[in-house]
Chains A and B, each alone.
Chain A
Amino acid sequence: DVKVTQSSRYLVKRTGEKVFLECVQDMDHENMFWYRQDPGLGLRLIYFSYDVKMKEKGDIPEGYSVSREKKERFSLILESASTNQTSMYLCASRDDRYEQYFGPGTRLTVT
């Protein structure tokens, strides 16, 4: 059974903190994605990676960076968290038929 895991389900951070969100997949997929989900806006792509050490900006990359040192792991980094980054963050990996498999999400609150 395919599996995408995220390091935390809930996270509370203070403004200005550096935040790491981790995602791991066990399907040997090359493509991985980070989205944020906000009510009424659906899912918006922050960054994606198509190979180790390779990344591309999505629709809303400002304020975020990513790291992909190993194929199975894709990290999202908030260099200096702000309150407008309070959101649900979803990680996904994609197979070669364009189907994306999602993790359970991390609900991040920045105070």
Chain B
Amino acid sequence: AQSVTQPDIHITVSEGASLELRCNYSYGATPYLFWYVQSPGQGLQLLLKYFSGDTLVQGIKGFEAEFKRSQSSFNLRKPSVHWSDAAEYFCAGVNNAGNMLTFGGGTRLMVKP
């Protein structure tokens, strides 16, 4: 079955520190992959997406993600976290022959001053 897993439920980092949020996927073929962010009381906003080609994808707000087929991973990174990055982050995938997006359970990021 197709699935997306985010191993970390909560992560706390200090402001200015680097960040990596993990995402693993299980699909028969290379899926389309997405990272979304949800600030408190808000809907989801797309940070970045991977369809094919360059495995390092740049997104909004200084985020990037790297697709690694050998590790079935699509981890999200940011070199220096800002307090405003505190939010919940969701990884999602869709089989390119399908219609339904499958979401991971989410990672809640807290930023210490």
Contacts and interface: CB of A to CB of B under 8 A. Distances in A.
A90 B49 contact: no
Interface in B65-99: 90, 92, 94, 99
A72 B111 CA distance: 38
A97 B94 CA distance: 11
Contacts of A19: none
Contact of A50 (B6, B99, B103, B105): B99
B43 A105 contact: yes
A42 B106 contact: yes
Chain A contact patch, size range = 20 to 34
B101 A45 contact: yes
Nearest to A41: B105
Contacts of B92: 43
A102 B38 CA distance: 10
A40 B105 contact: yes
Interface in A43-68: 43-45, 48, 50, 56, 58
Interface in A29-46: 31, 33, 35, 40-45
Interface of B: 6, 9, 32, 34, 36, 41-46, 49, 51, 90, 92, 94, 99-101, 103-106
